[in-house]
Amino acid sequence: MNAADQTADTATGTTADTGQPRLADYTTLRLGGPARRFVSADTSEAVVAAVRAADDAGEPVLLLGGGSNLVVADDGFAGTLVRIGSTGWTRDGDVVEAAAGQEWDAFVTELVDAGLGGLECLSGIPGSVGATPIQNVGAYGCEVAESIVSVELYDRTAREIRTVPAGELGFAYRTSVLKGTERGVVLSVRFRIDPSGESAPVRYAELARTLGVEIGARVPAAQARAAVLGLRRGKGMVLDPADHDTWSAGSFFTNPIVPAADVEATLARITETAGEPPQYPADGGVKLSAAWLIERAGFGKGHPGPGGRVSLSAKHTLALTNRGGAATADLLALAREVRDGVEARFGVRLRPEPLLIGCAL
């Protein structure tokens, strides 16, 4: 953004853009049309002031952190985009508190470098700290729900700042009570860490094999982080501007959970045509591998979408990628093709993991 195109809002401590920035410039997919108004808020106080001002004006609000979990319509967002730019973290014993706008992987890096363990298996995940409790971000056998102590948020309905303990956040697989609602604006997150510098217990088989340890073992956090980053890079899951396989929103579909009442029939249908699928215990049923279902439904790595402008990643079938010059409509067309193809073949409907803004599958 050109400094000449900005106007300072001294009352709120924010900066409002007088033009129409494209969301494509702020999302990892590099897709999305313009926002009607852009506000950059670099402190929690500025975030609250910006949201309050928009609410008072009856203006829709879109909160933007790292832009790694957003699919924004080509028409953009007809409201105020508040970019959360607060950064930094502090430590009090075995609890650390990080600002919502703090880049997630930079935060994890600093923890590991400081000899603090617990979050290293979530290394390499793009986005900001504030987004992690909303979707209960997880990877390689760990979820942030296991480490979160509490979240400080601005309650837009009550118009007050509240501290919400982890037990009230309704954490479940890739979700929380904060997902799908615009009421709570995350300002900071508190995490419990391990001052010993040891990793969380290794639960993911692929990571255990890479580290050469048994499931449940603990290793130095730095060693676990290095192994996780290596695995993620091999799947195109570490951002690299030169690698179009990383121009994505990460895993586009969540692993589907089949209700207990439907497990037997669903597994029989899948096994009959594609062999026995990987399956994992889940609350209320069985969790299946979305990547496995996608591949067995005929969508291999690199499967192209409209005009070749989008495709499945050449490294990982769960990522839908922008190959350059794409539109959001192209990505959604590919997502629908994959979703509908899996459902037609196996009777299992895949659900998107990123938030869809102004668009739908």
Tell me if residue 276 is catalytic.
no
Tell me if residue 251 is catalytic.
yes
Q: Are 136 and 172 in contact (CB under 8 A)?
A: yes
- String of DSSP letters for 77-123: EEEEEEEE----EEEETTEEEEETTSBHHHHHHHHHHTT-BSSGGGT
**3-state secondary structure at position 346:** helix
Catalytic residue among 86, 150, 251, 313: 251
Going from the C-alpha of 53 to that of each of 4, 34, 39, 358, the distances in angstroms are 23, 20, 11, 22
d(CA 22, CA 19): 10
Q: Are 120 and 147 in contact (CB under 8 A)?
A: no
Catalytic residue among 174, 203, 218, 296: 174
d(CA 97, CA 91): 6
What length does the chain have? 361
Tell me if residue 198 is catalytic.
no
Catalytic residues: 174, 251, 353
